[in-house]
Chains A and B, each alone.
Chain A
Amino acid sequence: DAGITQSPRHKVTETGTPVTLRCHQTENHRYMYWYRQDPGHGLRLIHYSYGVKDTDKGEVSDGYSVSRSKTEDFLLTLESATSSQTSVYFCAISVMGGDNSPLHFGNGTRLTVT
């Protein structure tokens, strides 16, 4: 168990409202990631972090921002939610980062934007 908790697990929100998803880990790992999963697209990287206050964009970062003020928490914010952001969001951690370190995923947050 990699000690990853995502909250909330489910959320329904209206178009135009801001939404923040939280990923919390208990192992103090340096590398954290946010992916979204949509049918036919697999898992797409939104943003990732390689340390406190060190973040970078992934493949599909438009409309999303992230913050990491503590090692254990990685927040994903949808600044103004749109229906195209309806998805399942997974947080993941990597013990060492890089190409030889597996990702461990949280249980996901199902977000519906109406």
Chain B
Amino acid sequence: QQPVQSPQAVILREGEDAVINCSSSKALYSVHWYRQKHGEAPVFLMILLKGGEQKGHEKISASFNEKKQQSSLYLTASQLSYSGTYFCGTYSPTSNTGKLIFGQGTTLQVKP
């Protein structure tokens, strides 16, 4: 079952912040985050393995709440280059054979 991402789309001005959420109905081992620019392949951003762990990638960071079965991606002081579609991918204990299941994606548009 796919994780659910929210919001589906967000429009920002440069310098503004955004949060993208990813929730699962199943217990999770880990959460991956990827970004895809229009017409390109998805690109890996980060993995979160432990409950409550936060990771950072420049001004993009994420948290993973194992208990709540959810993860959030934080984009701080957004830049034009942050525009794209963001996907979370989750592994569940029942599917830990190499299967990463993605959410439906959140489209982020950053305007000047």
Bind each other = yes
Number of residue pairs A-B, CB distance < 8 angstroms: 65
Q: Known contacts A42-B2, A43-B42, A43-B87; decide if A100 and B49 are in contact (CB<8 Å).
A: yes
Residues of A within 8 A of B44 (CB): 102-104
Least distance between B66 CB and chain A CB atoms (Å): 12
- Closest chain B residue to A97, Cβ basis: B98
Residues of A within 8 A of B32 (CB): 102-103
Chief secondary structure at chain A's binding surface: strand
Residues of B within 8 A of A33 (CB): 98, 100
Residues of B within 8 A of A43 (CB): 42, 87, 89, 102, 105
Interface residues of B (CB under 8 A from A): 2, 5, 29-30, 32, 34, 40-44, 47, 49, 87, 89, 91, 96-105
